[in-house]
Each structure stands twice: as C-alpha cells, then as structure tokens.
Structure 1
C-alpha cells in the first residue's frame, strides 16, 4: 500500500506539470491581461501609464519567461497578486478556503446520511411503496438543476418562511469565538448544505440500490440463507459489505466534485467561499486568482482520485494494490 501511494504521488508530478501548462496557456488565450480588469475599474488611466505597468510586471516578456516565473513563484507558495483586490492571492484565499471546505464537508456528510439509508431501504425492499417513493425522489433530483433547486430553497426557507439567513457565512455583528458566533455560522451553513445534499444523493441512492438488488441474489447469499444465517446478519456481513464498494470508490470524486460545484451554491446564497470568488474573478478578469483556483482544483482532483483508491482497498481487504 505504501509503495502504491508513493508511486501515485510521483505520477502526479508530470500530471501537475501538464495541468499548469494548460492553465497558463488558457489564461493567456483569454481576452485582455492582468491589468484589463483594473483598467475597467479606473477608466482615467492613460495608455502610457498602462504600458509602463505592463512592462514593470513583465507582461510583455515571452510566454516561456512568464511561465517560468509563475512556476517558480508557485513552488515558493506565491500565487501572485490580485489586481482587483490589491492583495496577495494567498491572503485572499485564506479567509475563503475554510468556508468552502466547511460547506463541502457538510454537504458530503448530509449526502451520505440521507442517501445511504434510502439506498438500503430501496434495495432491500424492492418494488415496495417505500422503494417507489425513493425512486421517484431520485428521478426528481436527477432532473432538477442545482441552481434551480437552490433558488427555490432560498426563496421558500429564506425569504418566505424566514427560517434561515439569505446570505453571508456569519452575522458580522457577533464576536468570533463566542457561542452565538458558532450558532450563527451553523445557521448560515445549513440551508446551502441541505440544498447541495438533497440534489447530490441521487447517484449514491441508485448505485447502492442496484448493488443490493444484484448482490442479494448471488450464490454466496443463497448459501448463507440455506445454512440458516439470520437475515439481518446476511445483509450486514454479506450484502451491504459488498454493495458499499462502489460507493466507497466514489468518495474521493465526491469531495472534489463538491468543491467545483460550490460555485453555484456560493453565488446563489452569497456565501463567501472560493467558488463565489472564482466566478467574480472571471467577471473582473482577475487572472491571478483564476489561475490559482484552477490549479488548486486540479490538485484536489488528483488527490481525490488517490483517496478513492485508498478507501476502496481499505473497505475490501481482498483488494491489494501493489
């Protein structure tokens, strides 16, 4: 297992290099440059001053020179300067990264807390009224876009009923570290987390239902029943253990997918995370922030893939990755 992890980490190095080249070239292919957004915010800036700033920042250098400089800074933890916010990208992300990670973890926990029991009920009692209700819920979730469902949740529970806050991550009037501060943090987090979780459950429910239905008719399950093994033990030790394998394998991908999908949730709920920052940076042409966030997302995807393989081998001892 250790050799496998080390080998996969080594393989990530050329993948990250190729990803960095693609991100850099795509950023340069976008219209304008790092100062375009600043020019839009300050129309009084004359062409000579703009040209001097471009020369000072090295934006007129050849692409390979700019790429080499960007990679060197990246390896030293320097993600560049946000020309819109006028502060280092590292400092800009520090306050927002934790919000996105917290939101993603809450969505992940709620997703599995909802999907696993529903998938087990649907698969074990196939074609029952409960199964039909769960399958119907899955179809509706699959057909409903995330941003539409989030808008409905925001309007109904935020504006109409007033049960949850409609924006932000915490009440700014509260002092950090107090009990009321954490209660406010939880209230602001709950509605976007539920919105993301209720839509994300469809894949897990369908996978788990299908696996249980296929596994419960296999020969080793029939043999266990013929030996008089209690039904509860058959499901816990044989059926569910084998049915959870694909769910465990997708856990790493679920984590990276949630980070990417938080763009819509954070924008709709005005939640100050990196997803909202990413969308704003594209609109404002703050390319330093855009390239840094895409690079971080690519790294998270590779780590999620590695995590999925590790979890899969840990869940099933029969799997040995050498």
Structure 2
C-alpha cells in the first residue's frame, strides 16, 4: 500500500510542473496583465506611473524569468497581490475558503444522501414503477442546466415564497459564535446546496444502479443464493460491497471538489465563495487572483486523482498490482 501511494505521489511531480507551465503561459497569453485591474480602477494614472509599476513588478523581464519568480513565490506561499481588492491573494482566498468549504460539504452530503438509496433501490427493483420514477428523475436532472435550475429555485423559493435568502452567506449584524449565527448560516446554505445536489446526483444514481444490476448476475451472487443465503444478506454483503466501487472511484474527486468552489451556484445565489471570486476576477482582469485560483483548482484535481486511487486500492487490492 505504501509503495503504491508513493508511486502515485511521484507521478504527481511532473504533472504539477506541466500544470504550472500551462497556467502561467495561458495566463500570459490572455489580454492584459497584472496591472490591468489597477489601470481599470484608476483610469487617471499617468503613463509614467504605469511604466514605473510595470518595472517594479518585473513585468518587463523575460518570460522565463517571470515564470521562475512566480514558481518560487508559489513555493513560499506567496500568491501575489490583488490589485482590485488591494490585499494579498492568500488572505483574499482564505477569507472566501470557509464559505466554499461549507457549501461544498453540504452539496456532497445531500448528494450522497439522495443518490445512494435511490441508486440501490432503482437497481434492486429493475423495471418496476419505482425504478422508472427514479430513472425519470435522473433524466430530468441531467437535462436541466444548472444555471437554469438555480435561477428557478431562487425565483420560486427566494422571491415568490420568501422562504430563503437570495444572496450572501449570513445576515449583517448577527453575532459570530452564537446559535443564531449558526442557524443563519445554515438558512443561507440550504437553497444553493439543494440546487447543487439536484444536478450532481445523476451520475451517482446511474452508476450505482447499473452496478447493482450487473453484480446481481455475477457467479458469486448466484452461488450465495444457491447456498440459501437470505436475500437481504446477499444484497448487503455481496452486491452492495462490489457495487460501491464507482462511488469510491469518484470519492477522491468529490472530497477535493469541496474546496474548488462552484462557479454557477455561488454566482447566481450571490454566495461569497471561491467560485464567485474567480468569476469576478476574470471580469475585472485581476491577473494574480485568476492564476492562483486556476493553479489551486488544478492541484486539487491531482490530489483528487491520488485520493481516488488510494481509496480504490484499499477497497479492491487487485488495483495495487496493476
């Protein structure tokens, strides 16, 4: 197990290098640079001041020198300065990270609470009315664009019924650390979490349903039934354990996606997380924030792949051999 994990970690090193090269040079190819946001917010800056700032920031240096300096700063935890928000990017991301984490965890929990029972029931009672109803739900959630569903949810439950707030993560004036503060944050979280979970359950339900149907026909299941094992134990001990492999395969990605942010959900619900910050930084051309968030997202994707490999190898030791 340790050798398998170490081998996967070593594979990540060249992947991180390629990722950093892609992020930096694609960002350099975009219109504008790290000073663009500053110039847009201060249109009266003289060309002399802009030239001095460009020289001070090293934007006139050769591209490879800028890349080496950027990577060196990354190793020291220096993500640069946001010239739109006038603060360190590390502080800016940290201030939004908790909101993104809460939203991601809520979506993940709701997704599994909804999809795992529905996937098992749909596979166990194949072609029944229950199965057709669940399959219809997955088709509906798959065909519905996330931003359309989120807008409908905001309009109905936020504006028309007034059951939930339509923006923010907590009301102003609520004292942090109190029970009212916790309930207020939860109240703001329910609607965007439900909208995100509605769309993300589709894949898990379909994978689990297909795995249950396929596993039911395997020889070891037929052998268990021929030995007189009760049907409930056949499902709990044989079918479900093997059917959960697709869930384990995606678990690493789902865990890291908790910190990646949700662009559409956070933007539509006005939820101050990393997804909303990323969209704002693109429109405002906040160069340092965009590159930092893209690099973090890529790193989380690599870590998610590593976690998925480790979880799968733990569930099915045969994977370690291959």
TM bin, normalised by shorter chain, reads over 0.9
Is the Cα contact below 8 Å between 2:100 and 2:258 reproduced in 1?
no
**Whole-Å Cα distance in 1 between the matches of residues 187 and 269 of structure 2?**
12
Query: Quick check: 1:169 aligned with 2:175?
Result: no
Residue 67 of structure 1: CA displacement?
A: 0.8
What whole-Å deviation, never above 9, does each CA across 1:284-303 have from its counterpart, x for those lacking one? 00010000001100110010
Q: 1:160-199 counterparts in 2 under 5 A?
A: 160-199=160-199
Partner residue in 2 for 1:291? 291
**Whole-Å Cα distance in 2 between the matches of residues 73 and 207 of structure 1?**
42
Q: 1:27-66 counterparts in 2 under 5 A?
A: 27-66=27-66
Judge which range, 253-262 or 75-84, deviates more.
253-262
**Whole-Å Cα distance in 1 between the matches of residues 240 and 317 of structure 2?**
15
Is the Cα contact below 8 Å between 1:118 and 1:205 reproduced in 2?
yes
Is the Cα contact below 8 Å between 2:257 and 2:300 reproduced in 1?
no
Q: 1:302-317 counterparts in 2 under 5 A?
A: 302-317=302-317
TM-score by length of 2: 0.97
Judge which range, 8-17 or 67-76, deviates more.
8-17
Query: Quick check: 1:19 aligned with 2:22?
Result: no
Q: 1:198-213 counterparts in 2 under 5 A?
A: 198-213=198-213
Residue 204 of structure 1: CA displacement?
A: 0.6
Is the Cα contact below 8 Å between 2:263 and 2:276 reproduced in 1?
yes
Secondary structure of 2:44's partner? Answer: coil
Partner residue in 1 for 2:219? 219
**Whole-Å Cα distance in 1 between the matches of residues 295 and 261 of structure 2?**
16
Secondary structure of 1:296's partner? Answer: helix
Partner residue in 1 for 2:280? 280
Judge which range, 187-196 or 3-12, deviates more.
3-12
Query: Quick check: 1:243 aligned with 2:243?
Result: yes
Is the Cα contact below 8 Å between 2:256 and 2:301 reproduced in 1?
yes
Partner residue in 2 for 1:117? 117
**Whole-Å Cα distance in 1 between the matches of residues 248 and 10 of structure 2?**
24
Partner residue in 2 for 1:91? 91
Residue 175 of structure 1: CA displacement?
A: 1.0
Secondary structure of 1:21's partner? Answer: helix
**Whole-Å Cα distance in 2 between the matches of residues 173 and 180 of structure 1?**
11
Secondary structure of 2:262's partner? Answer: helix
Residue 261 of structure 1: CA displacement?
A: 6.2
**Whole-Å Cα distance in 1 between the matches of residues 301 and 313 of structure 2?**
19
**Whole-Å Cα distance in 1 between the matches of residues 321 and 58 of structure 2?**
47
Residue 168 of structure 1: CA displacement?
A: 0.6
What whole-Å deviation, never above 9, does each CA across 1:111-144 have from its counterpart, x for those lacking one? 0110000001100001111111000000011101
Partner residue in 1 for 2:149? 149
Is the Cα contact below 8 Å between 2:100 and 2:260 reproduced in 1?
no
What value does the CA root-mean-square deviation take over the aligned residues?
1.4
**Whole-Å Cα distance in 2 between the matches of residues 40 and 319 of structure 1?**
53
Judge which range, 177-186 or 249-258, deviates more.
249-258
Secondary structure of 1:250's partner? Answer: helix
Change over 3 Å in CA distance of 1:319–1:16 after alignment to 2: closer
Partner residue in 2 for 1:271? 271
**Whole-Å Cα distance in 2 between the matches of residues 117 and 321 of structure 1?**
32
**Whole-Å Cα distance in 1 between the matches of residues 94 and 258 of structure 2?**
19
**Whole-Å Cα distance in 1 between the matches of residues 76 and 40 of structure 2?**
31
**Whole-Å Cα distance in 2 between the matches of residues 257 and 81 of structure 1?**
25
Residue 221 of structure 1: CA displacement?
A: 1.2
Residue 194 of structure 1: CA displacement?
A: 0.6
Change over 3 Å in CA distance of 1:317–1:5 after alignment to 2: closer
Residue 190 of structure 1: CA displacement?
A: 1.1
**Whole-Å Cα distance in 1 between the matches of residues 94 and 259 of structure 2?**
15
Where structure 1 has 5 or more consecutive residues not aligned to the other structure, the ranges are: none
